[in-house]
Amino acid sequence: MDSSFRKMLTRKILFLLYLPLLLWSCTDIVELELPEQEPQLVVNSMFTPDSAWSVDISASQNALSNAPYEQVQNATVEVYQGSKYLFNLAHTRNGKYKSEEALPKALEHYTLKVSAPGFPACEASNFAPALPATRALKVARASSSIDPNIPEAEVSFVLDDAPNTQNYYAISAYFPDTAYTGEAYKNYVGLDFQAPIEQEFTMGNSYFFSDKLIDGKATTLKQRYTLIEGKTVYLNIAQISPDYYHYARTLVKQSYNDNFMTTPGPVHNNIRNGLGIFAGYNTVTYHIKH
């Protein structure tokens, strides 16, 4: 279902729901105070076997505050493998804590313990899944269904989903670019999912889906993107931990909830006694030269 169609449907349904509001409503700014909440540690960290540990630590604030987030620079960040202490992460700059050389391992369960003066201590546990089992990558030239003059690349590969477990994936694609300011950056391309499944949601330029429809099966997945002649496109296929999937899903849902009558939903949080996300992923990257 293309996005314009979805938007149109959304607009119509919400129009009906809002009909009385459109007829008579008025909006007032009300000077209401929210009760003060004690700040908590906010821990945001994604880890993967091919990158060093990196943790961002900040403080939560009143919902009405618009001040920049306070980055916590004096925290103690300990990494455990199971119950075994491994090492502390060092503060590098502005609330970022990193390891020097140590890399996470796939399928190992790690625990992060964070404490800082003035905040309740918190901790979280997670793991990086195995590399996604992909094979038989094929790239073919195609043309856009909207405009035959626009060339597209159709990428297909087989994903062997592991049976009897709930697996989650995220796909993104980019090519290195410097076109805007001369600074090197990753220029992410929009992906058009083909049958048999669509993405369930997107966050940023990542496309998320679960194995609900392909559980335990070998499935050929196809994506299309606008062909960029002469560029190398990097296709990232990541298997992500359930916590990361649920965090991204609920964060997107909370942020883009356009139905005022729906009770707002909480964002998934796996930090005990704190807020944020500590989750692992594991990525296969294909280089596609055009």
Instruction: Characterize 257-273 residue by residue with b for buried, 16 or more Cβ atoms within 10 angstroms of its Cβ, and e for exposed.
Output: eeeeeeeeeebbbbbee
CB nearer other proteins, residue 226 or residue 254: 254
Taking the complex as a whole, the smallest distance from the CB of residue 124 to other proteins amounts, in Å, to 13
- Contact between 6 and other proteins per CB under 8 A: yes
Burial class (CB in 10 A: 0-12, 13-18, 19+), 286: middle
- Give the Å distances, CA to CA, from 165 to 27, 35, 103, 210, 280: 48, 42, 25, 11, 16
Q: Which stretch binds other proteins (CB under 8 A): 15-23, 74-82, 97-105, 117-125?
A: 15-23
CB nearer other proteins, residue 76 or residue 205: 205
Burial class (CB in 10 A: 0-12, 13-18, 19+), 171: buried
**21 vs 30: CA distance, rounded Å:** 18
Tokens of 27: 């909006």
**89 vs 92: CA distance, rounded Å:** 9
**209 vs 239: CA distance, rounded Å:** 10
Taking the complex as a whole, the smallest distance from the CB of residue 29 to other proteins amounts, in Å, to 6
Write phi, then psi, for 250 (nearest 5 degrees): -75, -30
Query: What is the per-residue binding string for other proteins in 200-239, x denoting contact by CB under 8 A?
Result: xx-xxxx-----xx--------------------------
Site for other proteins in 254-283 (CB under 8 A): 254-255, 257, 259-267, 269, 275-277
Q: Which stretch binds other proteins (CB under 8 A): 13-21, 84-92, 121-129, 150-158?
A: 13-21
Site for other proteins in 57-86 (CB under 8 A): 58-67, 69
Helix, strand or coil for residue 184?
Answer: coil
Among 172, 239, 282, 283, binds other proteins (CB under 8 A): 172
- Contact between 44 and other proteins per CB under 8 A: yes
- Contact between 16 and other proteins per CB under 8 A: yes
Among 19, 136, 140, 150, binds other proteins (CB under 8 A): 19
- Contact between 163 and other proteins per CB under 8 A: no
- Contact between 197 and other proteins per CB under 8 A: yes
Taking the complex as a whole, the smallest distance from the CB of residue 9 to other proteins amounts, in Å, to 5
Taking the complex as a whole, the smallest distance from the CB of residue 188 to other proteins amounts, in Å, to 5
Site for other proteins in 115-144 (CB under 8 A): none
**161 vs 254: CA distance, rounded Å:** 29
Chain position carrying tokens 């804590």: 97
Taking the complex as a whole, the smallest distance from the CB of residue 137 to other proteins amounts, in Å, to 21
Instruction: Find the helix or strand (DSSP H, E) in which 129 lies.
Output: none
**Torsional sign, CA 49, 54, 59, 65:** negative
CB nearer other proteins, residue 9 or residue 85: 9
CB nearer other proteins, residue 101 or residue 147: 147
